[in-house]
Amino acid sequence: MSEKIYIFDTTLRDGEQSPGCSMNMHEKFRLAQQLVKLQVDIIEAGFPMASAGDFECVKNIADHVRGAQIAALARCNAKDIDRAWAALKGAEQPRIHTFLATSDIHLKHKLKMSREQMLELAVASVQHAARYTSNVEFSAEDASRSDLDFVCQVFGAVIEAGATTLNFPDTTGYALPDEFGAKIRYLIEHVPNIHQAVLSVHCHNDLGLAVANSLAAIQNGARQVECTINGLGERAGNTAMEELVMAVRTRADQMAVHTDIVTEHIYPTSRLVTTITGVPVQPNKAIVGANAFAHESGIHQDGVLKERTTYEIMNPRDIGISTGNIVLGKHSGRHALRDRIAEMGYTLSEEELNRVFVRFKMVADLKKEMFDEDLEAILMDEVLRIPEAYQLLHLGAMSGSKSLPTAAVKLLIHGEEAEQAAIGVGPIDACFRAIAALTRTSSKLLYFSVSSISGGTDAQGEVLVRIEDQGKVVVGQGADPDIITAAAKAYLTALNRLEYLKKELPGKAEA
């Protein structure tokens, strides 16, 4: 029987550190529930010492999510570890994940300590964590650029101190697959007590090699992979969970290992992450991109129609992609809507379903046919949106080839109504100027895009904006059959995210 690879999902921690990807407690909890459906083994819920908000998010997940180990990140110091345990102690299977750099670059320039001091601190920290739980992970930050014999020394010592998982990160995405695999093999051969712990890897994608390096590590003995949905993460991102899992499954003949991931939930989980963060997946992204199973070439189309495996090495149904999207219309009932939403991977309360159903009927009256993407846009507006300091009550815009673009906006701001009119270069610019005046924001618009969610002139328009204020970058997403309204919703979502972030203390970590 093949050996199991443990999937450690860090979308809620490392993935959230992508610019603009901050999530609130409600969003993190919903994603954690989806990760349990996916059957990931470990969910890294956050970095409790980073902020009061992150602590509460981790605690909420630890207290209420069952079916996976819940991990929290902590630097190698007692305060971080105590804080992590305070957040984790209600979990069914808590894990403290502590880290410290081992590379001479980090020791000299960042930590200002010797190898001896680093080793002493690592051992003391793991011992401290082990007083709380027997499930302790130690990560050697920047391990791939560290002296391997020193890493072996550290790993041997922290195992003796109580670590049960050892993580070997390629923190800067510097390694090449053959090189990285050889390093993993060296660890297994030169750490005498390595059999007492699970060897893990955490690869970054700076050279586009995170998945390749992780696969090389598996083939050389690693049995845990740290990854994120859609490959989200610092800089160029992390190992994409969906790519790793489907590579292991599709090439089982070569890999000779397996995961417990329920692959049919991969695509719904990917879409949920996109909906929550507002960060779209590139069309040619492996596994979950819009073109991943699209065939435009006549030769390819002919082959697939005759026999799917001529050009498809995976069945789209295996990752949860439905082949029949146009199933709902204005005459569809509540039960049909609930079933379709469930197929898409979402579980709604009765109150949430009621809100979605009302909005569904409104849009269906305009569009006649509803696609999955239309439903996801409604879910974003009615269920997944961040708590709103600013709510759109009314929007009127006027524009034309010989008229001055003007917009009038009425908002509910912290419970009080306010309205403003403005002139702009175009109706969307005028709308944004009016909203900016009402909210008194000093944020800068970095990015604006508009696209059609589905085909046809009656399609909902989707707008994505990215704004920055005092170093904080957030994204906002909005959808509506009227593109100016969609733009206003996107801008307000981004401003609400900024309001949410203002309540949080800054803090993040690398591994």
Q: What is the pLDDT of residue 299?
A: 53
Closest CA to 142 of 107, 179, 177: 107
Structure tokens at 371: 């696609």
Helical axes 25-38 vs 266-277, angle rounded to 10°: 170
Q: What is the torsional sign of CA 289, 294, 299, 301?
A: positive
3-state secondary structure of 435: helix
**What mean pLDDT comes out for the span 55-80?**
98
* Per-residue pLDDT reduced to its tens digit, 456-486: 666 778 898 989 998 888 888 888 889 999 9
What predicted TM-score, i.e. pTM, was given to this entire model? 0.83
Q: What is the pLDDT of residue 459?
A: 74
Q: What is the pLDDT of residue 302?
A: 57
pLDDT band at 379 (very low <50, low <70, confident <90, very high): confident
Q: Please state whether beta strands 403-413 and 416-423 pair in parallel, antiparallel, or not at all (unpaired).
A: antiparallel
Q: What is the DSSP letter of 450?
A: E
**What mean pLDDT comes out for the span 397-417?**
92
Label residue 441 left, alpha or beta by phi (over 0 means left) and psi (-120 to 50 means alpha). beta
Kind plus residue range of the DSSP H or E element containing 139: strand 136-141
Q: Set out the domains of the chain in order of their start, with CATH numbers.
A: 3-277 (3.20.20.70), 298-384 (1.10.238), 390-502 (3.30.160.270)
Cα separation of 237 and 190, whole Å?
Answer: 30
Radius of gyration of the chain (CA): 24
Structure tokens at 500: 């949410």
Cα separation of 476 and 468, whole Å?
Answer: 11
Q: What is the pLDDT of residue 378?
A: 81
Q: What is the torsional sign of CA 161, 166, 168, 169?
A: negative
- Percent of the chain at pLDDT > 90 equals 64
Cα separation of 67 and 61, whole Å?
Answer: 11
pLDDT band at 428 (very low <50, low <70, confident <90, very high): very high
Closest CA to 199 of 251, 233, 156, 249: 156
Q: What is the pLDDT of residue 295?
A: 53
Q: What is the pLDDT of residue 364?
A: 81
Q: What is the pLDDT of residue 139?
A: 98
User: Do 228 and 13 contact (CB within 8 A), yes or no?
Assistant: no
Cβ-based burial of 306 (10 A; exposed 0-12, middle 13-18, buried ≥19): exposed
Any bridge partners for residue 8, and if so which? 42, 226
Cα separation of 226 and 239, whole Å?
Answer: 7
The label of the residue with tokens 């409604």 reads 378
Residue positions counted in the chain: 511
**What mean pLDDT comes out for the span 215-237?**
97
The label of the residue with tokens 């981004």 reads 494
Cα separation of 147 and 138, whole Å?
Answer: 17
Distance of CA 20 to CAs 254, 279, 335, 451, Å? 38, 8, 36, 20
* Per-residue pLDDT reduced to its tens digit, 163-203: 999 999 999 999 999 999 999 999 999 999 999 999 999 99
Q: What is the pLDDT of residue 286?
A: 95
Q: Report whether pLDDT(57) > 60.
A: yes
User: Do 450 and 486 contact (CB within 8 A), yes or no?
Assistant: yes
Q: Report whether pLDDT(274) > 70.
A: yes
Q: Which amino acid is at 503?
A: K
User: Do 491 and 392 contact (CB within 8 A), yes or no?
Assistant: no
**What mean pLDDT comes out for the span 412-427?**
94
Q: Report whether pLDDT(326) > 60.
A: no
Q: Which amino acid is at 127?
A: Q
Report the 10 Å Cβ neighbour count for 134: 9
Q: Which amino acid is at 27?
A: E
**What mean pLDDT comes out for the span 301-309?**
62
Which tops the pLDDT comparison, 214 or 346? 214
Q: Report whether pLDDT(366) > 80.
A: no
Cα separation of 92 and 253, whole Å?
Answer: 35
Q: Report whether pLDDT(304) > 70.
A: no
Cα separation of 238 and 261, whole Å?
Answer: 18
- Least confident residue range of 108-122, 126-140, 372-386: 372-386
Mean pLDDT estimate for the chain: 89
In degrees, rounded to 5, the angle at the alpha carbon of residue 72 between the alpha carbons of residues 68 and 76 is 145
**What mean pLDDT comes out for the span 203-226?**
98
- Please spell the DSSP secondary structure of 351-382, one letter per residue: HHHHHHHHHHHHHHHHHSEE-HHHHHHHHIII
What separation, in Å, do the N-terminal and C-terminal C-alpha atoms of the chain show? 32
pLDDT band at 324 (very low <50, low <70, confident <90, very high): very low
